[in-house]
Structure 1
């Protein structure tokens, strides 16, 4: 399988802000097409029914209890949504009912400091730090088989939005320690989200931490924070009372981020208000891995099941734009999302990415079941002894 990880001079970026949005910034002139899009927006959200099970007396450090329950899953288009928004929600329909059990979730994305503890404890080397093997990429020129990752490199002038190679590039030496390349560093950025992590990397961290990645359904239930039928994590309006609620892109995409929300580029975790469950940055800043394979028709399958209980995602991945690529679902949007190009900071929308590819706008957070928490507590007790 050809991967976006190996640069063929211009990488085939799996960054979720890319393929499916390539020309979505253009307005449709056809009023008939527009009216048909508006009709799609008339979706019905039923109330969220939280699980009545009492919350545990204690939560793992840095995690919040998510009660679980039954909810309507999928994208709700805000009023006056333009073609960019409609494009962002096309694989997030139909709205369907899902039930998830309760679980704990990290309050923030995994930070550089947390990931560094894992690396120091295990000696783990991320995918971006490893030199790609020629046998895995037989079509790649030898000079392109260098360790590195995909980095957002904005042009210094406006460009058409139909070719994302104009702002994404494969940078040798880019990895979680050097997010923009070998001359960059995370020194002084302990509380920033770790980025340039491939699916294999985040799975390794989760296992070490005694946790796992959230399913897509768990992620959305948690992100909604108890709200039903709202387009954003925080409610109906993108900027309630003029307040910025997430780290997104302002100004002209991709060449100018005005930083009106206080940040140009990635921000430290927890700089914006938490949602109803006490979770930070469930919209914007960095995309987040989930454990589900990506299929654009998966919601149709779930809809036919009635109320899907604890869905684990499809059995395999399929992206009609890149049929041979194994992709997982990304959620939450990033600091690059904008109403000009990618509006996937909306809570029900979906992203996708190759499992072997990280970028400088992709991170993750973990979840833990009650059973995992109880096992961890028993392990802590068994390793202690009187007098210690």
Structure 2
């Protein structure tokens, strides 16, 4: 059983997302980025509670140059600014559909939307997109600070170029997500719910059809819960975050130990952080060392992204 997002089939019938002209980085400074110093840290994990095919290890020492990263994922408000300025059309809009977790939908829409093969808790929802995250009849009004979702890796790249930034490498992402805590499972330590309190937005209840009565499946505001030691919010759970890298399960064995980034010809791009659909009983990919991937043109109701940039 997996909470990870379905993958859209080949994008051959949809025009490529146009490149966006870069603007001065002051655009991104409306939500100032956090500058992190050049550092060496232990990346990855050797513990057996992950998934071998994900390639979380072997753990190793990695050196990074200084960089900047956003405290939150890109919000609906920020993405709306981008769309107004550029008239960008997301790949979900170009395809005419996107993947939505079924309990986020009305009964009528759930029954009218097909499930992808082998994933009955997902639906292919016509006209679902960043502006209509739960499909027709939904909207982002009232959720300006929630993470934008239904954005592909290509859409995220376009936003980052417009904002004068870039996507983080997965090494940068993991260093920032750890918040200065070496070798810990989560951004706050090793205990999932310190003192019995939820520290992140992951599945509560029985997956996939029995959520806890006091919890609604879906993203929460980008600055919900407590920030980690570097000031980043929601690096565990809430929404998956695209990274710049081409995904490979051999990442830790094949990339350099200084400023590594996954490269190659494949279309799979790395995602980090897990989402509101993860739970320790079947998918613990909300750990800071955990990895996943999806095709660069795919989108879903649990995938967003975070902006990064080179150091000042």
- TM-score in terms of structure 1 length: 0.68
Aligned to 1:38: none
SS in structure 2 of the partner of residue 340 of structure 1: coil
User: Could you tell which deviates more after superposition, 85-94 or 250-259?
Assistant: 85-94
Deviation at 1:68, TM superposition (A): 3.3
Contact 1:247 1:263 in 2 (8 A): no
Aligned to 1:295: 248
Deviation at 1:239, TM superposition (A): 1.0
Within 2, Cα distance between the matches of 1:76 and 1:236?
A: 15
Contact 2:127 2:135 in 1 (8 A): yes
Q: Tell me the matched-pair count.
A: 278
Aligned to 1:5: 8
SS in structure 2 of the partner of residue 118 of structure 1: helix
Query: Is 1:358–2:292 an aligned residue pair?
Result: no
Within 2, Cα distance between the matches of 1:65 and 1:277?
A: 9
Aligned to 1:379: none
SS in structure 2 of the partner of residue 165 of structure 1: coil
Pairing of 1:319-358 with structure 2 (within 5 A): 326-358=267-299
- Tell me the C-alpha RMSD between the 2 structures: 2.2
SS in structure 1 of the partner of residue 119 of structure 2: helix
SS in structure 1 of the partner of residue 51 of structure 2: helix
Contact 1:150 1:168 in 2 (8 A): yes
Contact 2:44 2:57 in 1 (8 A): yes
Cα deviation 1:13-41 (Å, max 9, x = unaligned) = xxxxxxxxxxxxxxxxxxxxxxxxxxxxx
Query: Is 1:125–2:79 an aligned residue pair?
Result: no
User: Could you tell which deviates more after superposition, 330-339 or 178-187?
Assistant: 178-187
**Correspondence for 1:66 among 31, 36, 40:** 36
**Correspondence for 1:100 among 59, 64, 85:** 64
Aligned to 1:32: none
Deviation at 1:242, TM superposition (A): 1.1
> Taking structure 1 as reference, are residues 344 and 259 closer, same or farther at Cα in structure 2, changes over 3 Å only?
farther
> Taking structure 1 as reference, are residues 313 and 63 closer, same or farther at Cα in structure 2, changes over 3 Å only?
same
User: Could you tell which deviates more after superposition, 65-74 or 214-223?
Assistant: 65-74
Deviation at 1:183, TM superposition (A): 1.5
Q: Which has the larger Rg?
A: 1
Q: RCO (CA 8 Å, sep 6+): is it higher in 1 or 2?
A: 2
Gaps of 5+ in 2: 1-5, 11-27, 108-116
Deviation at 1:76, TM superposition (A): 5.4
| Deviation >4 Å, runs of 4+ | none
Query: Is 1:177–2:131 an aligned residue pair?
Result: yes
Contact 2:149 2:302 in 1 (8 A): yes
Gaps of 5+ in 1: 8-58, 132-146, 157-162, 318-325, 374-388
Aligned to 2:3: none
Within 1, Cα distance between the matches of 2:213 and 2:298?
A: 27
Within 2, Cα distance between the matches of 1:88 and 1:272?
A: 30
**Correspondence for 1:230 among 171, 184, 190:** 184
Within 1, Cα distance between the matches of 2:135 and 2:88?
A: 20
Within 2, Cα distance between the matches of 1:266 and 1:109?
A: 11
Contact 1:88 1:343 in 2 (8 A): no
Query: Is 1:278–2:231 an aligned residue pair?
Result: yes
Pairing of 1:81-230 with structure 2 (within 5 A): 85-87=49-51, 91-131=55-95, 147-154=96-103, 164-230=118-184
Within 2, Cα distance between the matches of 1:347 and 1:63?
A: 20
Within 2, Cα distance between the matches of 1:365 and 1:202?
A: 9
User: Could you tell which deviates more after superposition, 263-272 or 287-296?
Assistant: 263-272
